Amino acid sequence: MPNKLIHSTSPYLLQHAHNPVNWQEWSSEALREAKKIDKPILVSIGYSSCHWCHVMERESFENVDIAKVMNESFVCIKVDREERPDIDHIYMEAVQAMGMPGGWPLNVFLTPDQKPFYGGTYFPPQNWARLLLQIAKTFDVKWDEINQSADDLTNHLQRNDLDRFAKDETDAIFNRAKLEQQFDILQGKFDKRWGGMEKAPKFVMPTVWLWLLRYYFLSRNKTALEMVVFTLKKMTRGGLYDQLGGGFSRYSVDSEWFAPHFEKMLYDNAQLLSLYAEAYSITKDNFFRSIIDETLGWLQREMMHPQGGFYSALDADSEGREGKFYAWTYQEVVEALGDKHTLMTEYFQITKEGNWEHGLNILWRQELDKNLMSDSNINQHDLDELMEEGKKKMFAFREKRIRPMLDDKILTGWNAMTVQGLVDCYKAFGDQQFLELAQKNISFLEKYLIYDGKVCRTFKNKPSTTEGFLEDYAFLIQAYISLYEVTFNEMFLRKAEQWTNYVLNHFNDSKEDFFNFSSHFADQLIAKKTDVFDNVIPSSNSVMARNFFRLGTLLDHQQWKQRAVKMTLKLADLIATEPVYMSNWGILFSEISVGFNEVVMVGEKMEEMRKEIHENYFPFAVFLGTKSNSNLPLFYGRGAKDSKTMIYVCRNKVCQFPVENAQEAIHQIVPK
């Protein structure tokens, strides 16, 4: 018989709906039950594409004997971390405060009033069974000790990160020397052999590389650009990148980008669209365009709702094994390619014994095509053609396999990040398909995830009852700003302004200049969290602060710009000394230090000129345009002349001499 999760819309929770464990969703009903029967709560948190979540389910949660202990001694609650990141944030921090590494599945034991007293991640079945019995017994005989420990830990969780790290600084700290300090630290952590930051496992951390591109733009330090280009190319050589279908996995377990946990997440690929597009804007290297085209192909083919939203993730596992869909035996390659397999096996370093585990091969591109060409006596053009033909045959062969599970819920924040990625691609390439997809995506969000004057977190056949978190609002505002700057449709700008006011009214921390992760209407958990550190997803406060600075410039709203400055000043010391985990803040730090050029275009040819300018890389500029007139303050006193389209390049509303063509404007925007 199914448990209560059968009524969920979350693909992850539905995976557990037929476990013998009496799982419930996080709800007031489940929490009341724990208090009523005075039993500890077991909260198990994961997500649908999590490999070790599947392993623990098979080993423990499907085990009838283990389930019996769980049901008798605990109120068991399952949480999808992607639907409820607020719950995940709190209990992940709790486990880390206990001195244990974080990760998923996250299994935390709580008192009936939600206070954590023990937890961990994956447990083998024997260890899990022993732990359950031990916790149940301890809860009965040592309640006072458990309660005291839970109170102490809860007090720790209720301390804000800002209490620990925020400092008062003066505006004088916004200078190029601080940018040099950040670069020196990143250069010291850089893996010169494989790219990325020097450690394993290796996560992509897109905002680190986006910061380095901005630093290069300002400093013309070629080393910074080389670090980015080297990393972006190395990342596409191994299993982290799907060599046949496009798209990136979440991270590599080694330092070489070779063996990933094979789950593919929307948020990674959304940000990587932006990163590869910006790298192309600087280098004009068509290799970066090819990666974008392949990744976009995967998104459209496997991740896109018919009406334009994008799904959350693809599982790492299929047929009960991690990576089975993506890895190859030598014989499978022979079967797919016939007598033309030799060159492809060498190109992807495929061996009869397997280059990975269980006799399987991960496709790992040859580092030097010229060696392969020399050995095979062919030129680059012929090699490329042979590889494309071989990849198509292998892709067709792979399509017959049982596919990994799709997590088909649609998250507002992650989709808004995808809008941003598509807009950045449109700017770099001028290809209308990117803009059309971005507009289709935002239309999906407006139709299905925005109603009753608020934003919903997730959609799966219907919108969830959970309101969006700061992450969702911040990325949505960012998407609207970006859409305005490539369309000059002021409706997008007004929507960005509307939701910014909503965030100010419903997420504001009255004690700080920052914002709570959850709105004032959200469920009352044991702690209110303020998201500060940038990770694989930038912190929602850093995204919101960047919105304030950019939107404040576009709307000439000085109070919003000052809000961004205040938020950044409080973290300035941390930004300078921890540039990896403060990288999106670092981007804002550079924007405040340098300031924005205001590029104002007025006249019939403003779209043509915008397109030409946007083919270049101008991270420290905002763009406004109108064919005739506009009530936006930055258009005041700036118009077309004698029916000619004029471009005004300004800073703090002080303009250089207006020009009539894009190339002259580009010359004015380039830093002197």
451, 452, 456, 458: CA torsion to nearest 10 = -50
Residues lower than pLDDT 50 in the chain: none
pLDDT tens digits along 571-581: 999 999 999 99
Contact 609, 668 (CB under 8 A): no
CA distance 138 to 217: 59
What is the per-residue pLDDT for 379?
Answer: 81
- Domain locations along the chain: 4-158, 171-248+266-312+410-594, 326-400, 597-669
Query: What DSSP state is assigned to residue 139?
Result: H
* Single pTM value for the model: 0.96
What does the chain come to in residues?
Answer: 672
The amino acid present at 48, given as its one-letter code, is: S
What is the per-residue pLDDT for 161?
Answer: 81
Q: How far is CA 288 from CA 100, 204, 375, in A?
A: 39, 16, 27
- Is 4-158 a CATH 3.40.30.10 domain? yes
In the three-class reduction of DSSP (H, G, I as helix; E, B as strand; rest coil), residue 459 is classed as: strand
Domain 171-248+266-312+410-594: CATH architecture, name and number where available: Alpha/alpha barrel (1.50)
Cβ atoms < 10 Å from Cβ of 653:
14
Classify strands 621-626 and 597-602 as parallel, antiparallel or unpaired.
parallel
Cβ atoms < 10 Å from Cβ of 162:
19
CA distance 575 to 647: 35
Q: 83-108: b or e for each residue (b if 16 or more CB lie within 10 Å)? A: bbbbbbbbbbbbbeeeeeeebbbbbb
Q: Within a 13 Å sphere around the CA of 386, how many CA atoms are in the beta-carbon half?
A: 22
CA distance 555 to 653: 12
**How many helices and strands, by DSSP H and E, does the chain display?**
27, 21
Cα angle: 268, vertex 273, 274; to 5 degrees: 100
Q: Which two tokens stand for residue 276?
A: 């590869």
Contact 207, 538 (CB under 8 A): yes
Q: Which two tokens stand for residue 451?
A: 């109603």
Provide the percentage of residues in the chain whose pLDDT is more than 90: 85
Longest Cα–Cα distance of the chain, Å, equals: 88
Residue 331: partners with Cβ closer than 8 Å, 6 or more residues away: none
Contact 184, 560 (CB under 8 A): no
What is the per-residue pLDDT for 672?
Answer: 63
pLDDT tens digits along 473-497: 999 999 999 999 999 999 999 999 9
Cβ atoms < 10 Å from Cβ of 316:
26
Q: Return the axis-axis angle of helices 540-554 and 490-506, rounded to nearest 10°.
A: 130
